[in-house]
Structure 1
């Protein structure tokens, strides 16, 4: 489906709110990563979609502020940089005539910071920019610092310097506060995925492609995705996207061609039927999170590509990398063993020739070895006799 078609569907209101975010991310991936171009007449529609995606979920209805009135709020997550950008438009409520203005303002910023940093970690870095619509050229900036180093006192100290040169900064009612929060990566070793669900296990493994479906075609969908992965199909991003029906269409077509009925789900017998149809591939279905056991394994040969699946909790997913899926630097598909180094794998009965086979070869080569032994012994006797005669003459 082209970008123009997707944007036209959006302008017609086909997608609901839960689907828009996935559609927007898919469009961005195709524009940035795959280099697709957008028609000039579709740029306005994309701009409307971008503005809609930047709007957050708003404030809870039951959230009350003592010193502030929130006019609007929007946020955006930038996954590539692990950053949350949030913008809040707010007004100060009328202060009590008996209260200290400085203390009241400090309490107001404490309330605002508590709302902004409610889910932040102490080690996150936060930067703030306070703007007044009446003075757009004079924003007030708070440099990036750790969350546990940011307080209303820091903001008040910065504002004191600004108010000395611009006493009208708070003259306008509406203010805008923009926050950028960066969560830094933290290394604490690998976590064993024990006690987690199969869905969570597959989500965390980069070598597993999750099949999302609400029907009984997960086996056919998994095979369609695995074949597309092996062929490096250009439609793979579309097949992975649950918003499009292309994967469903191919799965139904595969079931029809292989004469497989998955109305009650896919069993071992159904896998065998698919294996009989997909003669260019070997289907292997693992049912262990470390790859130690298999639920099904088709016939292997040098001219067959292997389609690796993983099966648990009545669901099939696609394995795109065995080493990544099973958390190993080297994985032997034949003996189904994980190794930290390939050099450690020296005793595989499927790769190295057993001792019995060597004995059989020795029996077959026995006549030839006998002839070679006779020749060697004759040459040694001849050389020894000549040396003996030479010493006798001396």
Structure 2
């Protein structure tokens, strides 16, 4: 019953359920009760070998407001065992030796500063990872939706896809890390600009 238990704990976590601690610790058999209800609702029975892809698919069909993602232990998040196609809140699980565990923080689970959910890559320096899922303006994932009005910022000489993109840039301190060079117009690390000014 490991997978249904893990799923109900993950759901309580992402939904910010006020009973999350009781669910996680199975106080008053709350975790057990919710896991049994989940299994009964979908008609899933757990075999002695435990749960695999068929059971994950059945639970994903039932949990339409969530996207189940299962990572293989020891791969630092690069090896995905199962990834649901549904949109909604992601339920991140870690699979190790026949057991499932809830991941509440991808960066903590994979010992990294950042984790790209688009291409499943852990990394430590924000500006070092670029993929189709990273916004060119604020360098956050996912890519910002372009507004009709672009925002230009004099401090770092960059332009942004809109107000939300600009606010992400400020919030995450990207100006302290990179700027547009006024001589060559390339995006360069902040340290390169100081060297050029000396």
- Which stretches of structure 1, 4 residues or longer, exceed 2 Å deviation after superposition? 349-353
Residue number among 98, 114, 119 corresponding to 1:335 in the alignment: 119
State the Cα distance separating 1:244 from its structure 2 match: 3.1
State the Cα distance separating 1:294 from its structure 2 match: 0.8
What stretches of structure 2 of length at least 5 have no aligned partner?
137-198
Structure 2 CA distance, aligned partners of 1:263 and 1:249? 19
TM-score normalised to structure 1 length: 0.33
Q: Secondary structure at the match of 1:295?
A: strand
* 1:138-190 Cα deviation digits (max 9, x unpaired): xxxxxxxxxxxxxxxxxxxxxxxxxxxxxxxxxxxxxxxxxxxxxxxxxxxxx
Larger radius of gyration: 1
State the Cα distance separating 1:288 from its structure 2 match: 3.3
Residue number among 17, 23, 28 corresponding to 1:233 in the alignment: 17
Partner of 1:73: none
Partner of 2:54: 269
Partner of 2:37: 253
Structure 2 CA distance, aligned partners of 1:344 and 1:300? 30
State the Cα distance separating 1:324 from its structure 2 match: 0.8
Structure 2 CA distance, aligned partners of 1:249 and 1:272? 21
- Closer/same/farther in 2, CA of residues 242 and 280 from structure 1, 3 Å limit: closer
RMSD of equivalent CA atoms: 1.7
Q: Secondary structure at the match of 1:286?
A: strand
Partner of 2:79: 293
Partner of 2:92: 308
Structure 2 CA distance, aligned partners of 1:288 and 1:316? 10
State the Cα distance separating 1:263 from its structure 2 match: 3.5
The alignment covers a number of residue pairs equal to: 134
Structure 2 CA distance, aligned partners of 1:225 and 1:352? 32
* 1:115-142 Cα deviation digits (max 9, x unpaired): xxxxxxxxxxxxxxxxxxxxxxxxxxxx
- Closer/same/farther in 2, CA of residues 243 and 340 from structure 1, 3 Å limit: same
The structure richer in helix per residue is: 1
Higher normalized contact order (CA 8 Å, seq sep 6+, divided by chain length): 2
Partner of 2:152: none
State the Cα distance separating 1:248 from its structure 2 match: 0.5
Structure 1 CA distance, aligned partners of 2:14 and 2:135? 28
